Chains A and B, each alone.
Chain A
């Protein structure tokens, strides 16, 4: 247990569905991230939040919509996804300026 919890662990959704991924960290960190991990590709940084403010949007399509209501919680809202969006979505947290990021176990998303 790393202190970063992601739910659900697995999600299958149709292309017209709307779903949300949830991340919660119990480490007192002030930075939270969403990463996408596809087979044989580097971990792709999607969004960064520092002190609840979005500081990085790595050219992510608008069908992915992040929300950070407080420093402990991060959501990723999904709508009208494509099959190529199927991947492992990882949430991480850290202290701003600290190089160590703590990851959750990820949500395995399959878009059908």
Chain B
């Protein structure tokens, strides 16, 4: 079983829609969860991180962790064409070891 699993998409939605991106993870010991965004021909950049369970909001983005079901989500409200990118979920498993999902390619249609 992969440590972090993510639906690769692609996902295409119209501008203004609410986007839901999801991952599952296997190890209940994981505590830190991150979402990275990767634009074409660029390296990933950290978008948000959360610790343990709960929600974290930053503008149009909300990260959610449900440790009971080992499920992490990223919601994007009022999606914009500039949000088109690949979104990677990740978790921090031990000293300096970050494990990534395969990434979901998102396209926002104008």
Contact = CB atoms under 8 A, between A and B. Distances in A.
A55 B2 contact: no
A42 B101 contact: yes
A99 B102 contact: no
A57 to B, nearest CB: 12
B43 interface: yes
Interface residues of A, number: 27
A31 interface: yes
Contact of A42 (B43, B45, B49, B103): B103
B8, B100, B101, B103, most chain A CB atoms within 10 A: B100
Contacts of B102: 40-42
Contact of A40 (B2, B8, B41, B99): B8
Interface of B: 2, 4, 6, 8, 32, 34, 41-46, 49, 88, 92, 95-103
A55 B92 contact: no
Interface of A: 2, 4, 31, 33, 35, 40-43, 45, 48, 50, 55-56, 90, 92, 94, 96-97, 99-106
A50, A90, A100, most chain B CB atoms within 10 A: A100
Given A40-B102, A99-B49, A90 B96 contact: no
Given A97-B95, A102-B45, 4 more contacts: A40-B8, A96-B95, A102-B46, A105-B42
Contacts of B101: 42
